[in-house]
Amino acid sequence: MDNEKKAVTYNSSLTGETQVTLDIQQYMNNKSMYIGLMCREDGYDEPFGDVTVNLSFEAPDYCGYLNVNDMPDIEQFITDNELGEFTGFTQRSGYCEYPLYMFNVDKLRELCPDGMEMYEANIGMERKSETKELSR
């Protein structure tokens, strides 16, 4: 299976280690990147948590505000799995300050090829078909 999602380990200070896969979509109101985590339970994918949050401020392409409010270990997860890096920018919403991360495009394509393909098509970054044929 060419487009199968690959699992990575989420290390939570609350629940321990969980094998998760990425779910990449877009927020409807501003087309910013949405990344969620899914875990396998009883043979089905179940939502585990939202990596990104949808703020009123649009994030640049391939970037997102990390959900540090609901997932306190999310920055460590992103760093440990080389999924992205902190841009130095944050955005405050309510009582929480959310860090803006630029995601590692190649790593996201590796872990969630279908989600990235749809995201990139929606932002006008159509990948060349030759690159797909070379990877077979």
- Domain contains 136: no
- Domain contains 61: yes
pLDDT tens figures, 5-52: 899 999 988 888 999 999 999 999 988 999 999 998 888 999 999 999
Could you tell me the CA-to-CA distances from 98 to 3, 39, 101 in Å, in that order?
A: 31, 24, 9
- Domain contains 122: yes
Share of the chain above pLDDT 90, in %: 74
pLDDT tens figures, 97-126: 999 999 999 999 999 999 999 999 999 876
Distance CA 12, CA 15 (A): 5
Q: What is the mean pLDDT of residues 47-59?
A: 93
- Domain contains 1: no
Instruction: Give the structural domain span for 93.
Output: 8-129
- Domain contains 40: yes
pLDDT of residue 43: 87
Report whether 55 contacts 68 (CB < 8 A).
Answer: no
Better-predicted residue by pLDDT, 97 or 131: 97
Does residue 57 have a pLDDT over 90?
no
- In the chain, the number of structural domains is 1
- Domain contains 32: yes
The SS3 of residue 49 is strand
Task: Lay out the sheet containing 96-103: strands in order across.
Answer: 52-53, 63-66, 96-103, 84-93
Report whether 31 contacts 66 (CB < 8 A).
Answer: no
pLDDT of residue 56: 87
